[in-house]
Amino acid sequence: MRDFAYHRATTLEQAGPLAARAESAILAGGTTLLDLAKCDVIRPAEVVDITRLPGLADIRADAESLHLGALVRMAEAEGHAAVRAACPAVAQALALSASAQIRNMATLGGNLLQRTRCAYYRDPASFPACNRRTPGSGCAAAGGITHNHALLGTSEACIATYPGDFAVALVAFGAVIEIGTRWMPAEEFFLLPGETPHREFALEPGEIVTALCIPASAASRRSAYLKLRDRASYEFASVSVAAGLELAADGTIADVRLALGGVATIPWRLHAVEAVLTGRQPTPAVLREASLLAMQGATPRPDNRHKLDLAPRLVHRALEQLLQGDAA
């Protein structure tokens, strides 16, 4: 790991300019930054510890929204009664992430910014070619083992999967991200790789995520997060789905929210599936018809073709679970 200088920021006004300097990196829980620094993927000359900044670790819920400070630790949000009531999918996504130790360390803001687990990205010594790490250098994954690489939102330059769970739930429920004094929908925060996979988030140098806000909705209150993995625990998603449902008095679907994790380069909202379901009776045939659209537009590879079947089935299962009132 390269030598770096450590600064502990005491105010947001101080932290921004420090973090904007060349070769500077923001340090919060450390579970991504220090890991990738040890892998030589991120090589900061200085780190700016923001964990002691005041006022960024609140959880508040009211009739309008659920507000989560960026420095709230994953474990605190996972177990918080207001989170569980306002959006069970968020609490479940957090509880199904990482390990208990990492959830005690990692912050919600940092969780959004976690980097892909693409093995080629994480190993620069063995695989110099990575457009995400070194623009223009190529993509070692393209000819490699792609079992958990993305099928959706990919480009010629990059097929790395977005690894997080929490952000999948945020995108499903239309969360907005507070960046100092400006706000941005979560869906616009994550950038498709295109020809610039090294630009992963819609953040300018020195900008700091300060809070996440989930608008209150009936679908959010009746929601769930389902996650399939290659091992039972402490593993990234093979496929995951955040789902929320609101039924009208006549039993038709008034509102439905769906997003996929584990299969796309960014948290993947299923607008097409939602559109097919909205306003209809949730019969088994309708659920099947809609779920089958989940992987529309996918570009599979031989190693990950199974997810074309796996993802629609998990979407279907999530909807059935919510209909049975088994949301929590």
Q: Could you list the residues that contact another protein (CB under 8 A)?
A: 1-8, 10, 14, 18, 21, 23, 27, 29-31, 34-35, 37-39, 45-47, 49, 51, 75, 98-102, 104-105, 232-234
Q: Toward another protein, which CB reaches closer, 49 or 289?
A: 49
Shortest distance in whole angstroms from residue 14 CB to another protein: 6
Q: Toward another protein, which CB reaches closer, 104 or 137?
A: 104
- Measured distance CA(276)–CA(86) in Å, rounded: 25
Give the N- to C-terminal CA distance of the chain in Å, as an integer: 43
Shortest distance in whole angstroms from residue 44 CB to another protein: 10
Q: Toward another protein, which CB reaches closer, 76 or 255?
A: 76
Q: Tokens in use for 27?
A: 């340090």
Shortest distance in whole angstroms from residue 280 CB to another protein: 37
Q: Pick from 185, 172, 176, 171: which is nearest to 211 by CA?
A: 176
Q: Pick from 272, 268, 240: which is nearest to 256 by CA?
A: 272
- Give just the sign of the alpha carbon dihedral 178, 212, 191, 121: positive
- Measured distance CA(257)–CA(269) in Å, rounded: 8
Residue 57 has a CB neighbour count (10 Å cut-off) of 16
State how beta strands 46-49 and 24-27 pair: parallel
Non-local (6+) Cβ contacts of 232 within 8 A are none
Shortest distance in whole angstroms from residue 7 CB to another protein: 5
Q: Toward another protein, which CB reaches closer, 66 or 224?
A: 224
Shortest distance in whole angstroms from residue 171 CB to another protein: 25
Q: Toward another protein, which CB reaches closer, 122 or 301?
A: 122
Shortest distance in whole angstroms from residue 225 CB to another protein: 15
- Percent helix, strand and coil across the chain, each rounded to 5? 30, 20, 50
Do residues 273 and 260 touch, judged by C-beta distance below 8 A? no
Shortest distance in whole angstroms from residue 148 CB to another protein: 16
| Owner of token pair 């996650």 | 227
Shortest distance in whole angstroms from residue 180 CB to another protein: 19
Q: Toward another protein, which CB reaches closer, 88 or 312?
A: 88
Backbone phi, psi, residue 204, to 5°: -90, 160
Q: Toward another protein, which CB reaches closer, 29 or 312?
A: 29
Q: Toward another protein, which CB reaches closer, 183 or 234?
A: 234
Q: Pick from 217, 205, 215: which is nearest to 179 by CA?
A: 205
